[in-house]
Every structure is written in structure tokens, then in C-alpha cells.
Structure 1
Amino acid sequence: MATVKVTKEMAADALRGIDWAAVDATTDEEIARQVAGNPDAAPILSDAELERATFGERVKAIRERLRLTQPAFAERFGFPTASLRDWEQGRRKPDAATTAYLAVIEHEPEAVMRALEKSRAA
């Protein structure tokens, strides 16, 4: 994979070249037509699809930061691997309690692991 470096000046030049009035005037129908006509364009996601995708990316980032595979993460924190896979791929979103548990894992993974180890040893 090739690396492309972009300087702040290059980004500023690109932004100066944008006709923001034309962008603001573009209708949803025109955007949908442009996306449909471009095979390289990502599909337009609904708000619900976008929320699921964003949540899935967050779960995956937590797991990758801990350097764990899906099966290892699921086993360590007590999730079914299939559920974790569904969350990461945006097919499903966990319930509120599991979402809160994932937030604790995200911010304090070592504390969760210690608590689980003590619980399993008891």
C-alpha cells in the first residue's frame, strides 16, 4: 500500500477550490443520482444504518486496541463471538446494559479484567 502525505497547505488549497454555494445548493435527489452513477462511491446510509456502523467501528477499535481477536475478546469479556461479529459489522446493536459494559471496557479494560478474574476465582 502506498503512503500519501498531505500537508496543511495542500488541504487548505483543496478547500479553497470548492464552490460551497454549489455544494449547498445540491439536492438530495442529485446526490443520490451522483452516488448511483459512481461505482466507487460508498452507499448512502440511513441515520439508523450510520449509527450501527459507527457503533460497530467503535467496538472494533476497542478490540483492536486491546490486540485481541474476536474470539479472544468475546471469551475474555463474556460475549458470544457471533454477537460481537454482528456488532462490529453493524448488523445489530447491543442492549443498553451491554452498551454500558462496552463503555467501561473501552475506558477501563484492566479494571474489568481484574474484576472478572476475581469473580472467576471465587
Structure 2
Amino acid sequence: MSENTTSGTVVNFDARPRLSKDERARLENMSDDEIRRAAQDDPDNRELTDAELAEFKPVADAKLIRQSMGLTQEDFARKFQIPIGTLRDWEQHRTEPDKAAQNFLKVVSVTPETVVQALSILHEPAE
């Protein structure tokens, strides 16, 4: 599990921080240059090295894959037999797909009809 996850829950770095009224007023009165300098001076906001950047591994983006197929969440979940709640959690970055699910999403993105065919064969009633 990465440093940004706890029990499979992904930290949302896009969420706006909660600021006090004084902090918000100070930020709103700063110029773009002052904001840039403050960010550069922040020891927790250092630039990553090439080696550190190389450690990041892309995660299959369920929402992007689904949207590229023109499917609703419900249709995508039904078609590829993914629980709708799980799909929503992935798309809203509440949880991250495990390695098997990431690989499944990659295969779905490349050959969706093959996956549908394979799933239908696997779930045919026994004779």
C-alpha cells in the first residue's frame, strides 16, 4: 500500500484545506509571486527527484475508461460485473483498485468485448 493510502482509502489531495478567517484573508491578499515564494520555501513542498517520480505507478482510471466507452456507472458495473459501490469508490478516489482490479480495468480498456464474452461464458448456467 502506498504512503497516500490507509486501509485502501486514498487521501484526497485535491480537497481544499480548511483555513481560519485570518489565514484565508492573508492568502487572498497575497500576490501570485508571494504565493509561489511561500510554496517554494515550504519544506513539505519540495520538488521530487527523477528517482522519486519514477516510483509513482499509474493506476487504471475506472472513470476515464468508463467515460471513453460512453457508459453510465450502472451500465459499466453491470457489463463488467463490478459492484456499483466499488466502482463509485474507485471513481471518487475513496478507495484504490487492488492490483488484480487494476489489471482487470486495463484489459477492459483494451478489449472490452472480449471481457464481456469471457464473463458470459464463465457465468453460463451448468447443463
Identify the residue that residue 40 of structure 2 maps to in structure 1.
26
TM-score with structure 2 length normalisation?
0.51
Q: 2:90 aligns with which of 67, 73, 87?
A: 87
Task: Return 5+ residue gaps in structure 1 as ranges.
Answer: 1-18, 32-50
State the identity as a percent.
38
Q: 1:64 aligns with which of 63, 67, 77?
A: 67
How big is the shift at 1:106? 1.2
Q: Which amino acid aligns with 1:85?
A: R
CA RMSD of aligned residues (A): 3.1
Identify the residue that residue 119 of structure 1 maps to in structure 2.
122
Task: Return 5+ residue gaps in structure 2 as ranges.
Answer: 1-32, 46-55
Shift >6 Å, 4+ stretches: none
Pick the structure with more helix per residue.
Answer: 1
Q: Which has the higher contact order (CA 8 A, sep 6+)?
A: 2
Q: Which amino acid aligns with 2:40?
A: T
The count of residues paired between Structure 1 and Structure 2 equals 79
How big is the shift at 1:111? 1.1
Partners of 2:96 and 2:66 in 1: CA distance: 16
Partners of 2:115 and 2:88 in 1: CA distance: 21
